[in-house]
Amino acid sequence: MHRVLVNVMQSGWSVHFISPDGKTRIGPWLLHDSHDEVLKILEWCDITPEELEEHHSAIRRWGCSSAVVWLTDPKLAALIKRGEGWPWNGYELRQMKEAGKYPPERLTLANVRRATAKKA
């Protein structure tokens, strides 16, 4: 099991994961349209009832929360894989969402080549 910190901000309903070592990128920032969608992510992370209660309290008080979750190897690997080709931070993603361009297309070598070819 891997200890992972999950940060949630009510503004834009963003969810972000921080790795146990603080260095490994875990998945992309995720933006949602509602608290219910965020709760589904927390449920997927197998958040404890105590952490979930603290999450609700923190969201009511401060508009943000952090929870420690314990992820299995497959779940951690799935989150890390989602982060591949995803260079944007939460601020950039919120701007994209406000402009109606969220979620952006993941960056891959093929995408970069295609974009470069269009400019030429």
DSSP sequence for 62-96: HSEEEEEEEE-HHHHHHHHHHTTT----HHHHHHH
**Counting beta carbons within 10 angstroms of the beta carbon of residue 6, is it exposed (0 to 12), middle (13 to 18) or buried (19 or more)?**
buried
> What is the structure's pLDDT at 91?
72
Domain that holds residue 49: 2-119
Number of domains the chain contains: 1
pTM for the complete prediction?
Answer: 0.74
pLDDT (tens, 9 = 90+) of the chain, 120 residues, equals 889 989 999 988 888 888 878 777 787 778 888 999 999 999 999 999 999 999 999 999 999 999 999 999 999 888 888 777 666 677 777 777 788 877 666 666 665 566 566 665
Pairs from 43-52 (Cβ < 8 Å, separation ≥ 24): 44/75, 45/4, 45/6, 45/69, 45/71, 45/75, 46/70, 46/71, 47/6
